[in-house]
Structure 1
């Protein structure tokens, strides 16, 4: 009888201990703090004027207003950066934003719940920095504003940028008399044409591209988000060894892979690449690079679409023995497509 009581007591004690550990783990996660700031990203061809917004956490709100002005540094690129007086905050759980799309001549607005658990997990786990081989961390939340009210949110750090959500804003009408005082300039008759004519905002090369090709299709920023199951397959001159591979994608994401990740070379769900840079060492230990910067957008996206997103795709990059040229083929088990329009650059004997 005493033995039975002792066993019962130990079992109850074990349950209490396990529950306590679980609650302690939850409490630790609830108390997690991270160092982050915010910024805005918008396409070069489609300038966006910030009206009002906020990235919201339980203990902190990062605000946007007219002081951010016109943003069009490029899709996924970093816009304006404002310093803040906080270093440790909760992961954010919601976003609200109102802005003017100058080319479309309309306002968009919306408020959305963010995936706080996903954001906290990325903040917590970070990544390995290829230069220091130490843990790096995401420290910036980018809010991407695209035509037709598309909103994309990325976490950004050195060598990595990861999408954590996409959202849809709705058209809204704001009248000058209802706007807050500092934002009334947006309603001046000459505001939009003046901004679109400003060479410091609309770069001459961007205006020339628009003049010859027209504006990008407004829905292309959604098209960029389509993912495919692919990996690189690298063929180097005899004795060559891959060192670092940097991907930048049309959807705004960035990743840097090296070491065991290049050896394992797993298929991953990725968007179509905007550029790829491979750093490699030849048999003498000299550091070289081959880069496709950029791919031809229509060619590479159409090639991925032709192969589809249900099969495993290899991007075969072959550097010739003299390290003077490279060839690229996209293939799956049924088909292969030569990629011929990307701008390939090769560098030898890098010092860094």
Structure 2
């Protein structure tokens, strides 16, 4: 075979490969997603700049986002974008100012694209309409000491998809871009933290900080610890358990109903922070129960007492007229009472 024919053959093969790659890229499923920021209520963070980055799209953050401290794992605001369908993101970069620590942090990280793709593809069933849906938001969690957590979020469901470590950095007034220069003004952090007129903190958060100080900076890592547990609801005779929603200390959320409620649903989960459920009595009257808050010290102690070796049931036993409930944690060896939770009960729901 002549050299020119060989060259044409090589070019043809190479061209075929690039065409296959091109087709694979085109076939890759796109999804609609936006981004937002989360930070602990006690640790307000000032957004400097950042991006959730896909091959065809970057969801950007800058100083317009201002101070963020909606609570760990809770969504902040979102900015709408014109793009309707995006590739799955593969990179995250973020720079922010931690007011309490008076420190700028920055970092760039690769995302686990396959893990995110799997979650998008699997999605979940929307309880309201019984149809399959999927996640719509990424939440960038900014914690003290430069800890970053990325969650993916959809109605009633939130999963952790990455944990990263930023490093501290120095940004000067001269170096900062115009819209971010306010962060570098003398005494900015102190005013935001100390002057109640700025309303950086909710009044109850301010009182808690004054009384107990700021939470230990590494607690947001401790929140990620998991135990093998499931909820168990004990109702009056003839009643029906409808669903169970839970928010965990690590920022993850689940909504259980149907098979995910009644099946063998022991699963590796973080400690619950909030939960609630609906039930019907034998006359088909509907009621709700919400555990608005566990006592953090108590609930963590109870989980640690029962340990990770055995399956654990979080038991909520409701009385006949939906005015009281007893809570406990139980494994096959022992049952421990949970006494210091704030539980709320609905009247009959028509």
- TM-score, normalising length: structure 2: 0.90
Give 1:183-198 correspondences, 5 Å limit: 183-196=180-193, 197=195, 198=197
Q: Does the alignment pair 1:210 with 2:186? A: no
Give 1:6-155 correspondences, 5 Å limit: 27=24, 31-155=28-152
Structure 1 residues 121 and 28: alpha-carbon distance in aligned structure 2, compared to 1, 3 A threshold? farther
Deviation at 1:28, TM superposition (A): 7.3
**Secondary structure of 2:174's partner?**
helix
Structure 1 residues 155 and 343: alpha-carbon distance in aligned structure 2, compared to 1, 3 A threshold? same
Report the Cα distance in structure 2 between the residues aligned to 1:180 and 1:205, rounded to whole angstroms.
35
Give 1:189-338 correspondences, 5 Å limit: 189-196=186-193, 197=195, 198-338=197-337
Report the Cα distance in structure 2 between the residues aligned to 1:103 and 1:151, rounded to whole angstroms.
16
Q: Please, which of 161, 164, 168 is the counterpart of residue 161 of structure 2?
A: 164
Deviation at 1:30, TM superposition (A): 5.1
Deviation at 1:201, TM superposition (A): 2.0
Which has the higher mean CA deviation after the structures are superposed, 190-199 or 93-102?
190-199
How much is the aligned-residue C-alpha RMSD, in angstroms? 1.6
Deviation at 1:80, TM superposition (A): 2.3
Deviation at 1:305, TM superposition (A): 1.6
Gaps of 5+ in 1: 1-22
Report the Cα distance in structure 1 between the residues aligned to 2:225 and 2:26, rounded to whole angstroms.
32
Structure 1 residues 265 and 349: alpha-carbon distance in aligned structure 2, compared to 1, 3 A threshold? farther
Q: Does structure 2 conserve the Cα–Cα contact (< 8 Å) formed by 1:140 and 1:155?
A: yes
Describe the superposition over 1:142-199 as per-residue Cα deviations: whole angstroms up to 9, x where unpaired: 0000011110011111111111111111111222222222211111013112222244
Report the Cα distance in structure 2 between the residues aligned to 1:291 and 1:68, rounded to whole angstroms.
32
Which has the higher mean CA deviation after the structures are superposed, 231-240 or 302-311?
302-311
Describe the superposition over 1:23-82 as per-residue Cα deviations: whole angstroms up to 9, x where unpaired: 89x937852100000010001110000111111101111111111111111111111211
Q: Does structure 2 conserve the Cα–Cα contact (< 8 Å) formed by 1:130 and 1:244?
A: no
Report the Cα distance in structure 1 between the residues aligned to 2:164 and 2:317, rounded to whole angstroms.
39
Q: Does structure 2 conserve the Cα–Cα contact (< 8 Å) formed by 1:232 and 1:265?
A: no
Report the Cα distance in structure 1 between the residues aligned to 2:102 and 2:26, rounded to whole angstroms.
44
**Secondary structure of 1:207's partner?**
helix
Which has the higher mean CA deviation after the structures are superposed, 32-41 or 189-198?
189-198
Report the Cα distance in structure 2 between the residues aligned to 1:201 and 1:87, rounded to whole angstroms.
34
Which has the higher mean CA deviation after the structures are superposed, 83-92 or 261-270?
261-270
- What residue is the counterpart of 1:12 in the other structure? none
Report the Cα distance in structure 2 between the residues aligned to 1:237 and 1:29, rounded to whole angstroms.
55
Report the Cα distance in structure 1 between the residues aligned to 2:233 and 2:58, rounded to whole angstroms.
45
